[in-house]
Amino acid sequence: MDIPILFRDDRVIVLDKPAGLPVHAGRAGGPSVEDIFPALSRRRDGPWLAHRLDTDTAGCLVVALRKAALIAAQTEFAAGRVAKTYWAVVVGGPFENAGVLSAPLAKVTTGRAWKMQVGPAGQTAITAWQVLGRGDGLAWLELRPQTGRTHQVRAHCAALGCPILGDQIYGGGLGALHLLARAIHLSLAPPVDAIAPPPAHMRAALCGCGWV
């Protein structure tokens, strides 16, 4: 596999993870991001994933090359200090052009399937969002999660009444998930910054919403 590198120094690498590629190998096997780890470092220990992305989400994924960098990055994530920006193409779109959604999320399991659901018993989840463009029944959103709950961006878009295009769990229809981990910033010394380009499967819908 050839996964593009968006940022690299002697501490961390930020990969441009393709949509559809899991970060860990599944029980049934198959390719994963971890398959390329031997090519990223010749050290006996590491590399390590500093965080995770959903299999169907594309974009910025931080990999630590050294144990000290892993601890530093995980500390930033746990403290909520990592600035994460997502782009999503959603079905319909919110009535307003910007806002902040504070809606607790809890995991709900039905048989073998599970999803995150908004409810008072859930954990605090906050997402700032802004409409960057609209067109043909779709909207292009920029989302900045202030917390790091599982499926937060996906569940919050659905809670806004505009599920992400292609989100088969939260009501966005069939096809590929139109969600990109667009940018990430870690306030380390020196800082880590990366921006991911939109994947091929999102470009037509983004163009229809005004992206050029």
- Given 2, 16, 45, 54, which residue is catalytic? 54
What pLDDT is attached to residue 26? 79
Give the pLDDT score at 166. 98
- For residue 54, the domain's CATH number is 3.30.2350.10
Domain count, the chain: 1
Q: Supply the pTM of this predicted model.
A: 0.95
pLDDT tens digits, 118-175: 999 999 999 999 999 999 999 999 999 999 999 999 999 999 999 999 999 999 999 9
Q: What is the pLDDT of residue 74?
A: 97
pLDDT at 211 > cutoff 80: yes
Q: Cβ–Cβ contacts within 10 Å for residue 138, how many?
A: 20
Helices (H), the chain: 37-40, 67-78, 152-159, 200-208
Q: What is the pLDDT of residues 36-86, one digit of tens each?
A: 999 999 888 889 999 999 999 999 999 999 999 999 999 999 999 999 999
54 is catalytic: yes
Residue with tokens 């010749």: 42
Range of the domain at 41: 5-208
Asked if residue 97 lies in contact with residue 131, where contact means CB atoms within 8 angstroms, the answer is: yes
